[in-house]
Amino acid sequence: MLTRCFLERFGFYFCSYFGHCLIIDGHSFCNDAFGYLDLPDFCIGSDSFHTDNELIGRVQEFLQGYGYSVAVNYPYSGAIVPLKHYHENPRVKSIMIEVNKRLYLEDGTMNKNADFDKIKQVCSLLIEKIRL
């Protein structure tokens, strides 16, 4: 409930003040999700109305430039959009970026691995790259 209320106000404020809004919905997933063993390093979730191909392409190109594998809408799909704006307001853009936990955690633990700071930096640079 709190999240929905926040997103509704957030989307309205940014669209009113800046003329547009980009929601970056970040998550991570286990490498053995769904019992599959060959999952990508990053998953991009998109929405046909709120995520344009140019944005998806920029994210893919950036991550692949660092040598990471990237899949779109696999193993997860979709992008969060406040209901008030869902498929109504083209100025609200959204993309989901899922990071495979194997990139930054020791296998089977919640302990940071040697690449934790590298992934943190790549994600920070990615956010800067895709800002509207």
Residue 57 gets the label, from left (phi > 0), alpha (psi -120 to 50) or beta, of alpha
Percentage of residues of the chain with pLDDT beyond 70: 83
* CA-to-CA separations, 79 to 23, 25, 60, 94, 117, in angstroms, rounded: 8, 7, 16, 6, 26
List, for residues 17-32, the tens digit of each pLDDT value.
567 788 899 999 988 7
CA angle in degrees (0–180, nearest 5) for 11-70-87: 30
DSSP string, 41-98: SEEEE--TTTS-HHHHHHHHHHHHHTT--EEESSSS------TTTTTT-TTEEEEEEE
The per-residue pLDDT for range 60-114, each reduced to its tens digit, is 999 999 999 999 999 999 999 888 889 998 989 999 999 999 999 998 889 999 9
Supply angle C-alpha 81, 87, 90, rounded to 5. 85
For residue 83, what pLDDT is reported? 85
The pLDDT tens digits for 33-61 are: 777 677 999 999 999 999 999 999 999 99
| pLDDT at residue number 1 | 42
- Do 75 and 29 touch, CB atoms closer than 8 A? yes
User: For the chain, which domains are there?
Assistant: 2-130 (3.40.630.40)
Tell me the sheet residues that pair with 98. 27, 43
